[in-house]
């Protein structure tokens, strides 16, 4: 009997240490941007699967949703001779177009600084600033970018927003704004205990323009000359129609 139990533990080592993994899904994996798109709400839900008895120490969940990253220039303005002008700038290597952090508790108390650096969970760790080219420190420009995008709703931090039942079932909702960038929105769920990441689960949300939005976007990027000529023709036609309508009104 003992040999049999030893064989089971060797084949399934998770049973010996009570391994915990995430099983999760999203209410929708595809978001379509149309002409009347005004944002979307995604439900994220999941459960903790255990290969052994539950550990008594409390368990927390952190969820992050990151939009497509891109380089960005952050400029600093100062008043010179009564006029606001750009006095310095930094070229940040990569910053997500959208980023949301949701957690079961206070994020600063849930995750340790070492684990945050390793998994790049908080916003400052996610933004890469290499060779920024600014005369001032990098942190000032990164902090400014985060502050601006938080005011716009593009960066979100929501402590105590992940509901968890019996340290097994969890759920949360993330609100995507109307001005989304096309691409994959990487969604990651972390199981955290004593400040360390126990397990994580990754998936993505596909955001794409459809219909007229898709046609205009593709035309502008793939055939800019045709797009420009078409825009000019529409502007001329609209001006002519407005002028004709105004002339008719005056005659009456």
Identify which of 179, 204, 207, 206 has the alpha carbon closest to the alpha carbon of residue 39: 179
Does 156 reside within a domain? yes
State percent of the chain over pLDDT 90: 40
- Same-domain check for residues 45 and 160: yes
161: helix, coil or strand? coil
In this model, does residue 9 exceed pLDDT 50? no
In this model, does residue 212 exceed pLDDT 50? yes
Confidence of residue 131 (pLDDT cuts 50, 70, 90): low
- Same-domain check for residues 41 and 144: yes
- Same-domain check for residues 94 and 129: yes
User: Cα(211)–Cα(68) distance, rounded to whole angstroms?
Assistant: 21
Does 124 reside within a domain? yes
- Identity of the highest mean pLDDT range in 46-60, 119-133, 161-175: 161-175
Query: Based on the number of CB atoms within 10 Å of its own CB, is 177 exposed (0-12), middle (13-18) or buried (19 or more)?
Result: middle
Q: What is the pLDDT of residue 119?
A: 93
- Same-domain check for residues 90 and 171: yes
Mean pLDDT is lowest, of 47-51, 81-85, 96-100, 157-161, for 81-85
Does 81 reside within a domain? yes
Does 2 reside within a domain? no
Could you tell me which residues come within 8 angstroms of residue 61 by beta carbon, excluding any fewer than 6 positions away?
103, 104, 162, 164, 170, 189, 190, 191, 192
Mean pLDDT is lowest, of 113-122, 127-136, 182-191, 201-210, for 127-136
Does 3 reside within a domain? no
- Same-domain check for residues 40 and 154: yes
In this model, does residue 240 exceed pLDDT 80? no
Confidence of residue 136 (pLDDT cuts 50, 70, 90): low
- Same-domain check for residues 158 and 246: no
Confidence of residue 10 (pLDDT cuts 50, 70, 90): very low
Q: What is the pLDDT of residue 16?
A: 43
Specify the number of domains making up the chain: 2
Q: What is the pLDDT of residue 67?
A: 94
Higher pLDDT, 173 or 224: 173
Average per-residue pLDDT in the chain?
A: 81
- Same-domain check for residues 201 and 244: no
The answer to whether 15 and 51 are in contact (CB under 8 A) is yes
Does 161 reside within a domain? yes
Confidence of residue 100 (pLDDT cuts 50, 70, 90): very high
- Same-domain check for residues 162 and 186: yes
- Same-domain check for residues 128 and 233: no
Mean pLDDT is lowest, of 24-38, 42-56, 220-234, for 220-234
Q: What is the pLDDT of residue 4?
A: 37
Identify which of 64, 63, 147 has the alpha carbon closest to the alpha carbon of residue 99: 64
Mean pLDDT is lowest, of 5-14, 79-88, 214-223, for 5-14
User: Cα(139)–Cα(118) distance, rounded to whole angstroms?
Assistant: 19
- Same-domain check for residues 204 and 248: no
Query: Based on the number of CB atoms within 10 Å of its own CB, is 171 exposed (0-12), middle (13-18) or buried (19 or more)?
Result: middle
Identify which of 162, 181, 148 has the alpha carbon closest to the alpha carbon of residue 66: 181
- Same-domain check for residues 125 and 231: no
User: Cα(18)–Cα(191) distance, rounded to whole angstroms?
Assistant: 14
Q: What is the pLDDT of residue 195?
A: 92
- Same-domain check for residues 214 and 197: no
CATH code of the domain containing 22: 2.60.40.1930
Does 104 reside within a domain? yes
Does 248 reside within a domain? yes
Q: Which residues pair with 157 in a beta bridge?
A: 101
Higher pLDDT, 230 or 155: 155
Domain encompassing residue 195: 13-209
């Amino acid at each position: 009997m003992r040999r049999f139990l030893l064989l089971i533990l060797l084949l399934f080592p998770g049973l010996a240490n009570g391994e915990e993994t995430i099983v999760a899904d999203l209410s929708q994996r595809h978001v379509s941007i149309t002409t009347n798109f005004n944002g979307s709400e995604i439900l994220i839900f999941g459960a903790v699967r255990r290969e052994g008895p539950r550990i008594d120490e409390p368990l927390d969940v952190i969820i992050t949703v990151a939009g497509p990253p891109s380089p960005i220039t952050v400029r600093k303005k100062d008043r010179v001779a009564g006029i606001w002008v750009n006095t310095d700038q930094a070229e940040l290597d990569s910053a997500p177009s959208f980023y949301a952090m949701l957690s079961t508790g206070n994020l600063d108390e849930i995750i340790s600084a070492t684990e945050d650096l390793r998994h790049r969970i908080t916003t400052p760790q996610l933004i890469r600033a290499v060779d920024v080219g600014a005369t001032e420190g990098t942190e000032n420009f990164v902090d400014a970018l985060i502050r601006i995008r938080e005011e716009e709703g593009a960066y979100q931090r929501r402590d105590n927003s992940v509901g968890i039942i019996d340290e097994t079932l969890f759920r949360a909702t993330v609100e995507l704004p109307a001005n989304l960038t096309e691409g994959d929105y990487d969604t990651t769920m972390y199981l955290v205990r004593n400040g360390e990441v126990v397990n994580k689960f990754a998936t993505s949300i596909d955001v794409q323009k459809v219909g007229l939005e898709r046609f205009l976007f593709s035309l502008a990027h793939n055939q800019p000359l045709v797009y420009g000529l078409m825009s000019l023709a529409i502007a001329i036609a609209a001006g002519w129609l407005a002028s004709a309508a105004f002339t008719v009104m005056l005659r009456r």
